[in-house]
A and B are shown apart, each in its own frame.
Chain A
Amino acid sequence: MIGTALTDLWYGFGVALEPHNIVWCFIGVLVGNMVGVLPGMGPLATISILLPLTFGIKPVGAILMLAGVMYGAQYGGAICSILLNLPCHPPHAVTCLDGFPMTKQGRGGAALGATVFASFVGASWGITEMIFLAPVLVKVALEFGPAEICSLMLLGLLAGSTLARGSPLKGVAMTVLGLMLGIVGTDIETGAERFTFGMTHLDDGIELIALALGLFGIGEFMNSVNQVSTVNAKYAKVTLKDMRPSKEEMKRTIAPMFRGTLIGSLCSLIPGTGPTIASFVAYATEKKISKTPEKFGTGMIEGVVCPEASTHSSVQGDFIPTMSLGIPGDAVMALLLGALMIQGIVPGPQLIKEHPDIFWGLVASFWIGNIMLVVLNVPLIGLWVKLLTIPYKYLYSSAMFFVCIGVYAANNDMFQVGETAVIGLLGYVLLRLGFHPAPILLGFVLGPRFEENFRRAMLISRGDLAVFVERPISAVFVALCVLLIGLQIYVRLRGPKKPLVPVSDKQLLEGAE
């Protein structure tokens, strides 16, 4: 078992170390690191913009690069939080609480150094978990029939929409909306056109890129235009020498680092609870265990290290269900799956077997990418901070061009550019109404496969819905779904729910959104 995993990993390194793959991986983490620092440009928007550019390269390179953007952004987000008190990305909102006070005390470099180290440990653990867990999951998943796949997807969708931020009801509504958007176009089995309103452009369905860029690109720009204030880079001067934490600080970081890693990996195993929740739980835990909880918020290194380690461990862990089962845990994963599908690769349990180069190459590239990031972070911090002083007005208007050309280049179709604008407007309205657009993407990517498997299951069982509860594995998933819904209702009905995080944290989180 361990032996085969190691051979496969060795093979993966072989793939990831091919020169062009290294280059793609490097570009990915570099771009990711950059956008991680920039406010108003999330990894989602970046991955969608880069997506059309990946059509020309081989699937392995494409996925390595896009994944690199994803975890590269996590490192960048930490820089921003600690040095500038800007929670650019939700998972790093809690890092601000203790990271920025440390910067004010002149220990920002140390906080960063410790963070980079903790992140690397967290990520390594997540990768190790992926190496050993994914093949086991796949073995189980290969036994699945359409009914099991269907109920598993249902569970994934429910978890993804209810456990994420905001009201669970709204989350589910958005998932359903995503499923409906996925229906647009020609029906795979009967060839009937659905919801195309007579527009031949819509026959092939809504383009994933148009949807993603509309929701997370245009929608996001509309939200942040004229809102982003100039950055105060007063404290953001860090030299290499500052980055080494003192011995005492080192000692204090070790235990929180491992606690954070553990929390992160647990959170990643529950579908739908991504890095954001992991980092909040980690901070709360650390505060609870600490002997001096009242000191949190004044620059405790534990409060920086633990959430960061958990974020990274959970980001890597999120890849497990995505890659082994084809069930994405959040919108970024859904987008990566979409990228695979565009390349003609069917995600699911067969992926590891049929495309070992993708899976093991990806795993190996995680390590390579993480090492690159650790090395990169040190000299580049100054550059990123400079980048931050570029006013948003230049940034978003240039990004608009990349959005347009990206959507156009996907199919050389102008119609889709308009489509993106419409979706962007819709996305912004929904955002203002308190609906989070991320579950839409989840539903959109899973929708067609859900429908296909649902129909197949119905065909096999001759239209008997009982098949979902009669087959044991499927029944377990259905039971989990019911449990999840029940739990949500129970929590709601128990009266005023206690907020998971203290008010000040919550405000920060809202500020980050």
Chain B
Amino acid sequence: MILFGLVMALKGPSYRMGTLMHMGPGFLPTVLGVILIGLGIAIAIASLAPSDEEEEGILPENREWWAWTCILASPLAFMLFGNYGGLAPATFACVFVAAMGDRGMTLKQALALSVIITVFGVSLFHYVLQIPMPVLEWRG
């Protein structure tokens, strides 16, 4: 039942995008869009039908909003610091933000881990594998 709304929300836009294209390059997307709509409806019906299986909610019992945010923020931090600061701050930020997601993590541990990974990561990727990304550089 919970599926219903989300499935339709997910599949709806794909349909419009599909039909907007003209034949030629748009042919396959359109067909796929239609198929997906059909499947979406079928799944919705199937989930509406009574089932003795226990319905699992979208969210697990223990919701880790904080952890989820941290994990998702981690690549974004990498992007941000990577663009403006270089590899070293990006690595540090990425690991630090991700590490803070865990409930058992203390600030000290997270800092230590980030430093270790930064040193390791910079030496491996910058010096050994030669990734073209400055280690430390301020581009405001």
Residue numbers of A with Cβ under 8 A of B are 53, 56, 167, 169-170, 172-173, 176-177, 179-180, 183, 187, 189-190, 192, 194-195, 218, 221-222, 225-227, 391-394, 396-398, 400-401, 403-405, 407-409, 412, 414, 417-418, 420-421, 424-425, 428-429, 432-434, 451, 454
Contacts and interface: CB of A to CB of B under 8 A. Distances in A.
A179 B32 contact: yes
A403 B95 CA distance: 11
Contacts of A194: 21, 25-26, 29
A-B CB proximity, top 9 nearest: A393-B102, A397-B99, A397-B98, A400-B98, A404-B78, A187-B25, A192-B25, A421-B75, A173-B39
Contacts of B14: 180
Best-buried of B28, B42, B104 by chain A (most CB within 10 Å):
B28
Interface string B71-94: 110111011001100000011001
A449 to B, nearest CB: 12
A124 B18 CA distance: 47
A225 B64 contact: yes
Contacts of B42: 169
A391 B106 CA distance: 13
A180 B109 CA distance: 43
B76 A418 contact: yes
Contacts of B103: 226
B24 A421 contact: no
A169 B39 contact: yes
Contacts of A398: 95, 113, 117
Contacts of A429: 6, 58
Interface residues of B, number: 60
A454 B28 contact: yes
Interface string B121-132: 100010001011
B95 A400 contact: yes
B54 to A, nearest CB: 11
B76 to A, nearest CB: 6
A490 B28 CA distance: 29
Contact of B25 (A169, A190, A408): A190
Contacts of A195: 17, 29
Contact of B72 (A56, A177, A397, A424): A424
